Amino acid sequence: MCLFCKIINREIPSNIIAENDEFLAFHDINPKAPIHILAIPKLHVDSFNDTSPQMMAKMTSFIHDVTKEVNIETSGYRVITNIGDNGGQEVKHLHFHILGGAKLKWGHLSDVDPKGLI
C-alpha cells in the first residue's frame, strides 16, 4: 500500500484541509510555499497518465473548493502534478500540489539553460 493510501486509510496522520467521498486534501509535510496542499483521489491511481477525464473534472471542482477553503482563490495559486521519474514524481499515487500564499517564483527551473537539456 502506498504512502497516500495509508493517509486515506488514516494509518498515517495528516493535516487534512478538505475531504469528500472521492478526494482528500492535506498540507504537504515539506512545503515549498506558505500554503502547500496536496489534493489526491481516494481511489489509487498511479499518475496523471492513468486518470480519466471524468475523474479530472471532479478533481478540478475539488481543487476549486480547496483554494476557497484556504482563501487563495482570488490572490492566485499554482497547481502542479509530477508524472514519472523524469517529471519528479516521488509518490506513485496521483496528486496535485496546490501552492499559494505568496507571489510565487518559478524556482529551480528559473536558472536552467534549456539548451543544456537537449
- Contact between 38 and 19 (Cβ < 8 Å): no
Q: Please name the residues in contact with 30: beta carbons below 8 A apart, sequence gap of 6 or more.
A: none
Average pLDDT, the chain: 91
The more confident residue out of 60 and 116 is: 60
- Contact between 26 and 93 (Cβ < 8 Å): no
Q: Binning pLDDT at 50, 70 and 90, where does residue 67 land? A: very high
- Domain spans of the chain, in order of start: 3-117
pLDDT in tens, 48-62: 999 999 999 999 999
The pTM of this model reads 0.88
- Contact between 87 and 31 (Cβ < 8 Å): no
Residues designated as active site: 95
For domain 3-117, the question of CATH label 3.30.428.10 is answered with: yes
Supply the pLDDT for residue 117: 47
